[in-house]
Amino acid sequence: MNNTFFLLILLGYVAVLAIIGFFTSRGGSNASFFNANKNANWLLVSFGMIGASLSGVTFISVPGWTSSSGLTYMPMVFGFFLGYIVIATVLLPVYYRYNVISIYSFLGAKLGKESYQVGSLFFLLSRIVG
């Protein structure tokens, strides 16, 4: 596939997404985007959490990894499950109580702008290095 064709497909895809986003977000607000005006079904939220934690790379690479290493991936799955329980019982109530949408917003509200920026910086560094 030549580069021009690939670039045209990519630009077309981004344009279609922008058009869909423009027409479906009319009348929407930040509150409706980030927390569905605190009106979302718990099952929908749980699927969103799982979907956000998975990526295309995970979806493609994990079956190959498990076929070569056996069940060594299972402890990670159990860790994800425990993490979801902690998020649901500890973090989500705090987010609702302080009306924030992320841990970084919480850091900024409780500890100031510097902690917000340092926390965000460490997250970005962990994504780049990890």
List CB contacts of 66: < 8 A, sequence separation 6 or more.
Answer: 72, 73
**What pTM was estimated for this model as a whole?**
0.57
User: What does the pLDDT look like over 61-114, one tens digit per residue?
Assistant: 888 888 888 888 888 888 888 988 888 888 888 888 888 888 888 889 889 999
Contact 23, 90 (CB under 8 A): no
